[in-house]
């Protein structure tokens, strides 16, 4: 697994304009050299321990007549079908 990052304070579609470069939130696991390089490039760094969410999805493969499922490994739970019958058309669910 690789650590994640999230930038806050960017310009937004609502019209809010970034004025100070924002803040780069890092999950634990980044190497010290990477953090130092980001800081040398002018990034303001903070740490975020749990603000990243997760993803679970299922998809029907009509050609092979099989369900595929995937789940973010850092999240509890699982991805599974909700009905053993194939859907009408393509189905991709994400939570």
Q: Give per-residue pLDDT as tens, 26-44.
A: 988 899 999 999 999 888 9
Q: What is the pLDDT of residue 80?
A: 65
Give the C-alpha separation, 19 to 10, whole Å: 8
- Per-residue CA distances from 57 to 68, 71, 77, 93 (Å): 8, 7, 11, 5
Based on the number of CB atoms within 10 Å of its own CB, is 58 exposed (0-12), middle (13-18) or buried (19 or more)?
buried
Give the C-alpha separation, 45 to 25, whole Å: 6
Q: Which pTM was predicted?
A: 0.56
- Per-residue CA distances from 21 to 17, 50, 71, 87, 95 (Å): 10, 22, 33, 45, 31
Query: pLDDT: is 52 or 91 the higher one?
Result: 52
Mean pLDDT (the chain) is 79
């Amino acid at each position: 697994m690789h650590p994640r990052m999230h930038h806050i304070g960017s310009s937004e579609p609502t019209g809010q304009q970034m004025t100070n470069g924002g803040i780069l939130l890092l999950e634990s696991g980044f190497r010290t050299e990477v953090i130092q390089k980001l800081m040398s490039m002018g990034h303001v760094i903070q740490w975020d321990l749990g603000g990243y969410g997760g993803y679970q999805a299922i998809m029907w493969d009509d050609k092979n007549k099989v369900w595929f499922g995937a789940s973010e490994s850092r999240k509890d739970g699982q991805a599974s079908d909700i009905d053993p019958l194939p859907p009408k058309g393509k189905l991709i669910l994400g939570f």
